[in-house]
Amino acid sequence: MSMTDFTIHHLAGQLDRGELSAVELAEECLRRVADRDGEIGAFLAVDADHVRTAAAESDARRAAGKARSPYDGIPIGIKDCIATAGERCSCAPRLLETVVSPYDSTAVARLRAAGFIPFGRLNMDEFAMGSSCENSAFRKTANPHDLSRVPGGSSGGSAAAVAAGLVPAALGSDTGGSIRQPAAFCGITGLKPTYGRVSRYGLVAFASSLDQIGPMTQDTQDAAILLDVLAGRDPLDSTSLPAASGGFADAVSRAGKDLKGVRIGLPREYFGAEGLSPAVAKVVHDAVERVRALGAETVEVSLPHTRYAVAVYYIIATAEASANLARFDGIRYGARVEAPDLVETYFKTRGAGFGDEVKRRILLGTYVLSSGYYDAYYLRAQKVRTLIRRDFEEAAKLCDVMLTPVTPTVAFKFQEKSDPLQMYLSDIFTIALNLSGNCGISIPAGTDPETGMPIGVQFLAPALEEARLLRTARIFEANR
């Protein structure tokens, strides 16, 4: 089985023609994990029994003419914060190491309903807080393109697993860039859907007004296939949108050959940004030339409040996280450090169970919500969030999609960003999109000649315009 053919759409064809069985495919993934994941470290766990049983069931369904979809039997890696029934769901802190989910998240339930096989638990920064996977309490995940470099984060395990071809695709979650940034660092495709497009039920909450589950895949066609399966209203998530979903894979397969008539906005603030490395700037510049050559009209647009995005995000996200993580008190979930009284038990459990970055964010979030500071920080950040959203609305009047860098640099080396602020600033191009609620995709666009590391570009589209987004990205991808 060749690596280049390890896409969902290709495998579906092989399964359909009987050239491959689900059991053979599952065994191939298990073998790849056994062979390569020792050095990469993408997976925290793989329940081989679950995978084998599900694969045998899939083959039986197909043999009986009852395949649930063309994709029945294809394994999908799952980030460790997205619940799969009967498997661990830890989000990578010590505190939840032993937690086994009693239920499926809606995302996993929808995958199963289409016959996909949830495959393993993928490493991540603790509670999805981070940009390098270095905040996992359990293991280091390396970038498959250079093992001395990070895969990005927080969905670093998902990106590394897909880039190394251990699984055809994976689910990630994106609160401030956690799908798009690791996708760019590892040379794969990562889609952050519109807020509310995919149910968050069974996704361990980090910042509830920003979190969104999305596909991490080899190409746009696979991203569209998974979005078709994942998207849709869910009564179990009141923020999920009633919008009509589906037809994304269709939109991609009928994408056409050029970008004539498409207006692509280039946000001024994303191009001259401080810290943008020459290698990334060159790839983005070449991408602009490419879309022009494909017939798109490029227009300069402005997102003037971009410079506040990182600050606003670190107020809103930490405020929501401090509230969401209050439930992890040693009483209801996971490990407990026993102490003579209840309050002491809370303190000791949380002291021992959370890592430094999570504690830093809980402290920050608690502070910005505390009486006397609420108006000065939290309320003001919410107002600036509205301004950021309006920037996107204004820009949308001038263009159909926007094209931007994803990250200022290529994947950095382990421990290179030991200062948390430096790490936060590396999210400068991804964070505003979550604050706006709109959708975006990171797709591979080139490599850094010096390090050989992949570089991505990001397309951004208005809320619920994933079909437009995917179509544009597909045409770009086909002309790489």
Collapsing DSSP states into helix, strand and coil, what is residue 228?
Answer: helix
Q: Is 285 exposed, middle or buried (0-12, 13-18, 19+ CB in 10 A)?
A: exposed
Indicate whether 141 belongs to the interface with ligand GLN (CB under 6 A): no
Indicate whether 176 belongs to the interface with ligand GLN (CB under 6 A): yes
DSSP string, 266-314: EEHHHHS-TT--HHHHHHHHHHHHHHHHTTPEEEEE--GGGGGHHHHHH
CB of 260 to ligand GLN, least distance (A): 35
Task: List Cβ neighbours of 191 (8 Å cut-off, separation of 6 or more).
Answer: 179, 214, 215, 216, 217, 223, 227, 439, 440, 441, 466, 469, 470
Indicate whether 407 belongs to the interface with ligand GLN (CB under 6 A): no
**Stretch binding ligand GLN (CB under 6 A), from 129-137, 299-307, 331-339, 390-398:** 129-137
Nearer to ligand GLN, 151 or 177 (CB): 177
- Please give the torsion angle defined by the CA atoms of residues 228, 394, 313 and 407, in that order, rounded to the nearest 10 degrees: 70
**Stretch binding ligand GLN (CB under 6 A), from 175-183, 216-224, 284-292, 449-457:** 175-183
Among 158, 175, 324, 407, binds ligand GLN (CB under 6 A): 175
Nearer to ligand GLN, 84 or 178 (CB): 178
Indicate whether 129 belongs to the interface with ligand GLN (CB under 6 A): yes
Query: Which residues are 312's β-sheet partners?
Result: none
Residue 178 appears among annotated catalytic residues: yes
CA atoms within 13 Å, Cβ hemisphere of 448: 24
CA-CA distance, 476 to 468, in Å (whole number)?
12
Collapsing DSSP states into helix, strand and coil, what is residue 379?
Answer: helix
Q: Hey, CA dihedral for 263, 264, 268, 269, is it positive or negative?
A: positive
Indicate whether 128 belongs to the interface with ligand GLN (CB under 6 A): yes
CA-CA distance, 75 to 104, in Å (whole number)?
16
CB of 143 to ligand GLN, least distance (A): 16
Among 154, 194, 245, 324, binds ligand GLN (CB under 6 A): 154
Per-position x/- string for 6-45, each x denoting binding to ligand GLN as judged by CB under 6 A, each - no binding: ----------------------------------------
Q: Hey, CA dihedral for 414, 417, 418, 423, is it positive or negative?
A: negative
**Which among 79, 90, 158, 192 is annotated as catalytic?**
79
CB of 158 to ligand GLN, least distance (A): 12
Task: List Cβ neighbours of 327 (8 Å cut-off, separation of 6 or more).
Answer: 333
Among 7, 123, 136, 178, binds ligand GLN (CB under 6 A): 178
Amino acid identity, residue 171? L
**Which among 105, 131, 132, 178 is annotated as catalytic?**
178
Indicate whether 177 belongs to the interface with ligand GLN (CB under 6 A): yes
Nearer to ligand GLN, 154 or 306 (CB): 154
**Which among 154, 155, 322, 436 is annotated as catalytic?**
154
Please state the φ and ψ torsions of residue 35, each to the nearest 5 degrees. -75, -45
Among 41, 73, 130, 334, binds ligand GLN (CB under 6 A): 130
List the interface residues with ligand GLN, window 313-332 (CB under 6 A).
Answer: 317
CB of 434 to ligand GLN, least distance (A): 7
Nearest alpha-carbon partner for 469 in 479, 480, 457, 461: 461
Residue 66 appears among annotated catalytic residues: no
- By annotation, the residues acting in catalysis are 79, 154, 178
Q: Which residues bind ligand GLN (CB under 6 A)?
A: 128-131, 154, 174-178, 206, 317, 427
